[in-house]
Structure 1
Amino acid sequence: MFVLVNLKAYPCDPVEIADAARDVSDDYGVDIAVAPQTAHLSRVADTGVETWGQHVSPVEHGSHTGSTLAEAVTDAGATGTMINHSECRQKLADIDAGLDAAERVGLDTTVCANNPEQVGAVAALSPDAVAVEPPELIGTGTPVSKADPDIVTDAVAAAEAVDEDVSVYCGAGISTGEDLVAARNLGAEGVLLASGVAKADDPKAALENLVEPL
């Protein structure tokens, strides 16, 4: 299982969490990545943890003030990026252009989608993975695997129907090892989570509790 910890814009210490994620990844043999704020990418990458961008803009070099250039993300040490998170939604054409930007510099990609129908649409753009995240469950502590397991199984089926090489991840409300096991049993190959680690008093303990059942 792949675990992507999105730090969003939470008031946390990105280096502390990155150190914890690196150590837990090594100790438990689970692939854990951290997606900090763009300004913190280099600091997080310097810890040795797998580092992801929270977003790349659908642009090339040029007059794009305020954009997140894919080249800058890789220069900072990231090896992957999310695209179209529910809190940073894009039109389908911009998702496609963002994927082109990521491919231009060799970034792995996970495109977020709200439901199985959207999963099928973005899978047709050939990202490395699609993450199904019902927005109403984000930050609630109630995982989609419990609230509506069919969303996960339908998302897996939707992606497979379009491109069997696109992995499906599960997000929204993930916080426990039980949630990870449930997501895996429903066919997901990874999870996205945020507050369960970023807001934890002890991020390393939270990550250990998350992956230990695997």
Structure 2
Amino acid sequence: MFVLVNLKAYPCDPVAVATAADDVATETGVRIAVAPQAAHLDRVAEIGVETWAQHVSPVEHGSHTGSTLAEAAADAGATGTLLNHSENRLRLADIDASLRAAERAGLETVVCANNPRQVGAATALEPDAVAVEPPELIGTGTPVSTADPGIVEGAVEAAAAVAPDVPVLCGAGISTGDDLLAARELGSEGVLLASGVAKADDPRAALADLVAGL
């Protein structure tokens, strides 16, 4: 299982969370990555934890003020990037262009989608993985794997119908080890989470609990 911790723009210490994630990953052998703000990519990468960008823009080198250049994210230490998170939606053409930018920079990709239909469309764009995240459950503490298991199962089926080798991750409301195991039972190969770790009083304990059952 792949655990990707999105720090969003939460007022947490990215280095502290990265250190906790690196410790738990080393101790358990579970693949854990952290996605900080772009300005913190290098600080997080220096810890040694797998580091992901929260987004890269659908641009090449040039006049693109305010954009997150895929090559710059890679230079800062990112090895992957999220795309089309529900809090940063992209048009279909821009998802495709961001994927090509990430590919150009050697970044692994996960494209987020709201539902199985969107998962199928995202899979057709050839990302490394897709993630299903119903936006109404994000940050609620109610995991989609229990609130509506059919969405996860449908997403897995939709992706497999397009490209059987593209894994599906599960997001929205994931915070406990039981949530992770439920997602796995539904066919998910990983989880996205944010507040369950970024807002935790003890991120290390939160991560250790999350992966304890694996």
TM-based fold match above 0.5? yes
What RMSD in Å do the two structures reach over aligned CA positions? 0.3
Write the distance in 1 (CA, Å) between the matches of 2:161 and 2:73: 32
1:203 maps to 203
| Sequence identity percentage | 77
Alpha-carbon deviation of 1:165? 1.5
2:23 maps to 23
Q: Deviations over 1:150-203 (max 9, x none)?
A: 000000000000011211000000000000000000000000000000000000
Write the distance in 1 (CA, Å) between the matches of 2:91 and 2:177: 34
Write the distance in 1 (CA, Å) between the matches of 2:76 and 2:209: 30
Q: Does 1:152 align with 2:152?
A: yes
Q: How does 1:1-20 map to 2 (within 5 A)?
A: 1-20=1-20
Counterpart residue identity of residue 201, structure 2: D
Write the distance in 2 (CA, Å) between the matches of 1:155 and 1:125: 15
Alpha-carbon deviation of 1:56? 0.2
Write the distance in 1 (CA, Å) between the matches of 2:26 and 2:18: 12
Q: How does 1:167-206 map to 2 (within 5 A)?
A: 167-206=167-206
Q: Deviations over 1:87-127 (max 9, x none)?
A: 00000000000000000011000000000000000100010
Q: Tell me the SS of whatever aligns to 1:3.
A: strand
Q: Tell me the SS of whatever aligns to 1:32.
A: strand
1:113 maps to 113
Counterpart residue identity of residue 65, structure 1: T
Q: Where do 5+ consecutive residues of structure 2 fail to align?
A: none
The number of equivalent residue pairs is 214
The structure 1 segments of at least 4 consecutive aligned residues displaced by more than 4 Å after TM superposition are none
TM superposition score normalised by structure 2? 1.00
1:122 maps to 122
Write the distance in 1 (CA, Å) between the matches of 2:163 and 2:125: 9
Q: Deviations over 1:67-103 (max 9, x none)?
A: 0000000000000000000000000000000000000
TM superposition score normalised by structure 1? 1.00
2:70 maps to 70
